[in-house]
Structure 1
Amino acid sequence: MSGYYSPLTYTVPEHEDGWLLKTVLQRRLQVSRKLLSRLKLTEQGIMLNGERVYISVKVSAGDVLEVRMEQEESDDILPEPIPFTILYEDEHLLIVNKDSGVIVHPTHGHYTGTLANGVVHYWKSKGERFRFRPIHRLDQETSGVLAIAKNPYVHQHVSEQMIAGTVEKKYIAFVHGSPAQEEGAIDGPIDRDPEEPHRRIVTPDGYVARTLYTTVARWAGGSASAVNLKLESGRTHQIRVHMTSIGCPLIGDRMYKTLPVHEIDEQTMAVREERDTWIARQALHACELSFDHPILHNRMTFHAPLPADMAALEARLDVEASPREAL
């Protein structure tokens, strides 16, 4: 296998005749300075009509520019046959439906059994060499759509879309109680809880965080609800913290089930504790992800169906917390 591959090929149009190659790379192809510096040091990183050139040369209409990447591997990640579901794959991206309970990337104390271990094994089994580059993260117990870039150019461009707020991430959650308004926005800065650093809290000195929500169903007059959520920021545990902050913690969420701000009676608490046993993790699923493909330049939307444990929770709410009110 060659040590290089070409994720990006560009034919110079008439109106760019005479441009500096550097200008084409930065202005037209939006190659970051960091990546451009890396490509300049790569033996076959920047090729014009099949020849290695300096970025100071001028291009002509019809010239074919190739941005070539070195084949990379995640040598620090042990390949393991960890099962996962592929929603979409091309030579630039891998979109998967992550199962609950699976950590995305190896961390201290969790070097095996992660999604990364499974993806690296999958690529190796096909004779492919890519570095594991998740574009975003999901909590261990959160299921759903996750995007992985196969090269630094694609990772850069989707990450920039996330910073610009043009990536849409949608979730569905089953929560205790019901929001006071059927739909709205939760604006609450988030930071670590000084008393329990592994937790997050809403605090005036925290990082800006905004979550949009729409209530789509209620059970038993509002003792439980199904809520669609859209993130406008990506703070750790954001949905779990924000929903708890308005008195609607996620069903099954052991970390954020307490409500220090919202008083509830003992009977309601008992009902909630019972429902927390109906699912083994927080009832949160990343159901949809949308962004512009950095190479194909079309808007792409990926969907992950409701997982079995959340479907079972929904069915149990229909039976044991009826009536259900669809909104």
Structure 2
Amino acid sequence: MPASTINLDDRYYPPLEVKVDAQDAGKEVRTVLERRLGVSRKLLSQVKLTEHGLTVNELRAYTSAKVAEGDVIRLRMEREESDDILPENIPFQIVFEDVSLLIVNKPAGMIVHPTHGHYTGTLANAVVYHWKSLGERVRFRPIHRLDEETSGLVAIAKTGYVHQQISEQLQAGEVDKRYRAYVYGSPDPSSGVVNEPIDRDSDRPHLRVVRPDGYPSITHYETAETFGAEQEGGGAAACIKLKLETGRTHQIRVHMRHLGCPLIGDKLYGPDEGGIERWEQAVGRQALHAETLSFVHPLTKQRMVWHAPLPPELIQLEAVLRGKS
């Protein structure tokens, strides 16, 4: 049955489309799609198995077919759903959403994806409910994650292609992720780069540590503000702005502890002798927030930037550190 006589919207996401130009005339479909759209071989192999997944001028085509100038190649990915994730009506903040991408501002205390022992109450449960309430059939594909007690921006792809494209930007260091942290003490020097490998602690596998045989890990930091050399009831604190060049588990927390400036409220990597109680109570969790995220949108090819304002608990912590609360 010709594609034009059936409702493809029910089965497929909106198609990716390429009009063959003179430069690509005579080349194979797979070559054109790889060059023009960056479609991976793995993704292409999945798509071509479906009836209307790959067409040239709306006729089913093989990836090895050669195309002529003016031909229109369309790539359609089947709609998927996360059937193993229970939809839950949990409020969350949407920063941006279109047909292919969702950016959310995750609150502290929420896990991104269900894990053993945490099958409900996660961001995934909330997002799946949101999509179902809109009548959308979408699989939950987080491009990166945040720790449970870290707030801020999380990107979620709505198609396999978008996930592949942004993941490649991550691997190439083209995704700009910036964080704000509040720490004990202040780094010396006040700005710089921590280039120290990270891996699991041999004695406590749930923890990460700096170790020579670990995975390359690079964190850029800059002191934005300090809060008194000798405050009543404790020593100095600082607000630190950070940019990740790599994305290891607990990377910022481990690197800041390595600098001698552990995060306020961090239960795993906090001060060995205990923190300042009023600071810890003010924030109620580790003082880390993913405040800026930027990458090239895979469909529009435009670089986009998203921001998440400081949540109330970090505003409260700032006030306490400044002696205003």
8 Å CA contact 1:179–1:248 kept in 2: the answer is: yes
SS in 1 for 2:315: helix
Take 1:250 and 1:16, find their aligned partners in 2: how far apart are those partners?
53
- Amino-acid identity (%): 57
Q: Which residue does the alignment assign to 1:286?
A: 290
Q: Which residue does the alignment assign to 2:133?
A: 125
Take 2:275 and 2:173, find their aligned partners in 1: how far apart are those partners?
38
Q: CA deviation at 1:62?
A: 2.1
Which of 264, 271, 285 aligns to 1:251? It is 264
Q: Which residue does the alignment assign to 1:241?
A: 254
Q: Deviations over 1:273-313 (max 9, x none)?
A: 44222211000000001111111101111111111110111
Which of 198, 204, 216 aligns to 2:224? It is 216
Which of 296, 311, 318 aligns to 2:300? It is 296
**Cα 1:270–1:114 shift into 2, 3 Å:** closer
8 Å CA contact 1:216–1:226 kept in 2: the answer is: yes
Q: Which residue does the alignment assign to 2:242?
A: 229
2:106 corresponds to 1:98: yes
Q: Which residue does the alignment assign to 2:29?
A: 21
Take 1:7 and 1:132, find their aligned partners in 2: how far apart are those partners?
19
Q: Which residue does the alignment assign to 1:65?
A: 73
Q: Deviations over 1:130-181 (max 9, x none)?
A: 1000000100010001000011111001001100111110000011100011
Matched to 1:224, the amino acid is A
Take 2:45 and 2:64, find their aligned partners in 1: how far apart are those partners?
13
**Cα 1:235–1:270 shift into 2, 3 Å:** closer
Q: Which residue does the alignment assign to 2:43?
A: 35
Moved over 4 A (4+): none
Matched to 2:99, the amino acid is E
SS in 2 for 1:275: helix
Which of 299, 307, 311 aligns to 2:311? It is 307
Take 1:8 and 1:301, find their aligned partners in 2: how far apart are those partners?
23
2:98 corresponds to 1:86: no
- Give the TM-score normalised by structure 2: 0.92
Which moved further from structure 2: 217-226 or 286-295?
Answer: 217-226
Take 1:274 and 1:258, find their aligned partners in 2: how far apart are those partners?
15
8 Å CA contact 2:193–2:220 kept in 1: the answer is: yes
Q: Structure 2, unaligned stretches of length 5 or more?
A: 1-8, 230-234
SS in 1 for 2:206: strand
Q: CA deviation at 1:79?
A: 0.4
SS in 1 for 2:283: coil
Which of 121, 131, 142 aligns to 1:113? It is 121
Q: Which residue does the alignment assign to 2:3?
A: none
Q: Which residue does the alignment assign to 2:209?
A: 201
Take 1:145 and 1:47, find their aligned partners in 2: how far apart are those partners?
37
Which of 308, 318, 326 aligns to 2:322? It is 318
SS in 1 for 2:50: coil
Q: Structure 1, unaligned stretches of length 5 or more?
A: 260-268, 322-327
Q: CA deviation at 1:85?
A: 0.6
Which moved further from structure 2: 36-45 or 97-106?
Answer: 36-45
Take 2:167 and 2:118, find their aligned partners in 1: how far apart are those partners?
25
Q: CA deviation at 1:10?
A: 1.7
**Cα 1:270–1:25 shift into 2, 3 Å:** closer
Take 1:56 and 1:277, find their aligned partners in 2: how far apart are those partners?
63
**Cα 1:271–1:147 shift into 2, 3 Å:** closer
**Cα 1:77–1:271 shift into 2, 3 Å:** closer
Which moved further from structure 2: 275-284 or 5-14?
Answer: 5-14
- Give the TM-score normalised by structure 1: 0.92
Which moved further from structure 2: 50-59 or 163-172?
Answer: 50-59
SS in 2 for 1:58: coil
SS in 1 for 2:45: helix
Q: CA deviation at 1:271?
A: 6.3
Q: CA deviation at 1:32?
A: 0.7
Take 1:7 and 1:249, find their aligned partners in 2: how far apart are those partners?
47
8 Å CA contact 1:176–1:272 kept in 2: the answer is: no
Matched to 1:168, the amino acid is D
SS in 2 for 1:70: coil
For these two proteins, the number of residue pairs brought into alignment is 312
Matched to 1:73, the amino acid is E
Matched to 2:66, the amino acid is K
Q: CA deviation at 1:6?
A: 2.5
SS in 2 for 1:172: strand
SS in 2 for 1:153: helix
